[in-house]
Amino acid sequence: MKSIIAEHLVKTYRNGEVKALDDLSLNVEEGTVLSVLGPNGAGKTTTVRILATLLKPDSGHASVAGIDVIKQPGKVRELIGLSGQYAAVDETLTGWDNLVMFGRLYHLGKSASIKRAEELLERFSLTESARRPIKTYSGGMRRRLDLAASLIVQPKVLFLDEPTTGLDPRGRQEMWGVIQELVKGGVTLLLTTQYLEEADQLADEIAVIDHGKVIARGTSDALKKQVGGERLEITVENADIAKTQEIVARISATATHTDIRTISAPVTTGSIALMDALRALDEAKIHPLDIGLKRPSLDDVFLSLTGHVAEEEVKA
């Protein structure tokens, strides 16, 4: 069953001047993770906002857990959790205050709200700082608290809009751990990111979007295959380039590519090709500076799909 369905969503801003979504369609199988990958301004946040009932599309349909987000937004809100790009919690209040307040707003009742808040604080390792105002928290702690706030009623469908943007590497690692735990619990997750590594780590499937459209969709492996298989890459001293090119030409039927001192060519036989190359180089008394099989990264995927790179400078 599909937990999230978006069909032909169109959203324009400023009287049609800016097209945020241009006939965007996607769906997410129940209990799986879809990562929506794209650069700033590709339409990721707009997609999430429409699915989370915060925004109405100009046209198109969307449903979450089988409920129409445009016709029955109230019902959808009872089933979803949303954690946005910025930690949307009250910074003057403590972590405990925030979670209890959100529990009350989900109509849990006072004692149930307190119980749930304490469970979540424990689960996200925030118990020690529970009584401190959020403004004293680190970026990673804020994000964890924000995520906790979106899990108060154990949502069926969770939307995480760039959950690690602006976090330091350690905060990012922690967040990934937390999200991986969540996914094991069976929630359906739609996660947007501009980090290819993040999509690779967390998602079952990836939808690459650019200019408000899905331009590719599939598992990380499938997308990488779309760009091409493995490549043999050998870096040698300048003097050895010509000879190495000859060797590589014997192993790889297709065209080689030379970039300064690195020779790269697509291969189909994987490690066998690598060993052949090593043997031939050894016989020719060439000692490569570096040699290896390289699988295309999602960066390569994005570049080949869109003609530009995905990651942009992290906003200060």
Partner 1 sequence: MKNAVTDALIITKRQLLQLARVPEVLIFSTIQPVMFVLLFRFVFGGSISTGQPGGYVQLLMPGIFVQTVAFTLAATASGLAEDMKKGLIDRFRSLPIARSALVVGRTLGDSLLNILVLVVMAAAGFAVGWRPTASVLSVFSAFVFLLLFGYALSWTGIYAGLAVRDARTVQNVSFLITFPMTFLSNAFAPTTGMPKALQYVAEWNPVSTMVAACRQLFGLENEFGATANSFPSQHPLTTSIFYMVLIMVIFIPLSVRKYKNSSN
**Is residue 70 within 8 Å of 57, Cβ to Cβ?**
yes
Give me the amino acid identity at 175: M
CA distances from 314 to 107, 157, 164, 174, 219 (A): 38, 28, 11, 19, 26
Binding letters toward partner 1, positions 140-169, x by CB under 8 A: ---------x--------------------
Query: Least distance to partner 1 from the beta carbon of 281, Å?
Result: 56
Task: Give the one residue of 49, 116, 143, 224 binding partner 1; rule: CB under 8 A.
Answer: 49
Q: Pick the piece of the chain touching partner 1 (CB under 8 A) from 78-86, 218-226, 238-246, 255-263.
A: 78-86
By CB under 8 A, is residue 263 in contact with partner 1?
Answer: no
**Is residue 293 within 8 Å of 269, Cβ to Cβ?**
no
CA distance 22 to 60: 10
By CB under 8 A, is residue 286 in contact with partner 1?
Answer: no
Task: Give the one residue of 31, 133, 139, 218 binding partner 1; rule: CB under 8 A.
Answer: 133
Q: Are strands 188-193 and 213-218 parallel, antiparallel or unpaired?
A: unpaired
H/E stretch holding 225: helix 220-227
By CB under 8 A, is residue 84 in contact with partner 1?
Answer: yes
Nearest Cα to 42, choosing from 64, 69, 58, 22? Answer: 22
Task: Give the one residue of 18, 71, 107, 257 binding partner 1; rule: CB under 8 A.
Answer: 107
CA distance 110 to 287: 71
Task: Give the one residue of 14, 17, 74, 313 binding partner 1; rule: CB under 8 A.
Answer: 74
Query: Least distance to partner 1 from the beta carbon of 110, Å?
Result: 10
Q: Pick the piece of the chain touching partner 1 (CB under 8 A) from 60-68, 74-82, 207-215, 302-310.
A: 74-82
Residue number, 106 or 295, with CB nearest to partner 1: 106
Residue number, 159 or 302, with CB nearest to partner 1: 159
Chain-centre distance of CA 112, in angstroms? 33
Residue number, 80 or 247, with CB nearest to partner 1: 80
Contacts of 206 (CB under 8 A, 6+ apart): 34, 35, 37, 199, 200, 216, 217, 218, 219, 220, 223, 298
Residue number, 74 or 185, with CB nearest to partner 1: 74
Residue number, 24 or 301, with CB nearest to partner 1: 24
Q: Pick the piece of the chain touching partner 1 (CB under 8 A) from 85-93, 167-175, 248-256, 277-285.
A: 85-93
Q: Compute φ and ψ for 45, nearest 5 degrees.
A: -65, -40
By CB under 8 A, is residue 53 in contact with partner 1?
Answer: yes
CA distance 211 to 42: 5
By CB under 8 A, is residue 176 in contact with partner 1?
Answer: no
Query: Least distance to partner 1 from the beta carbon of 146, Å?
Result: 8
**Is residue 199 within 8 Å of 222, Cβ to Cβ?**
no
Task: Give the one residue of 18, 59, 71, 105 binding partner 1; rule: CB under 8 A.
Answer: 105
Query: Which position has the token pair 């990673």?
Result: 140
CA distance 106 to 155: 11
Query: Least distance to partner 1 from the beta carbon of 316, Å?
Result: 16
The residue ranges that bind partner 1 (CB under 8 A) are: 49, 52-56, 74, 77-78, 80, 82, 84-94, 97, 101-102, 104-107, 133, 149
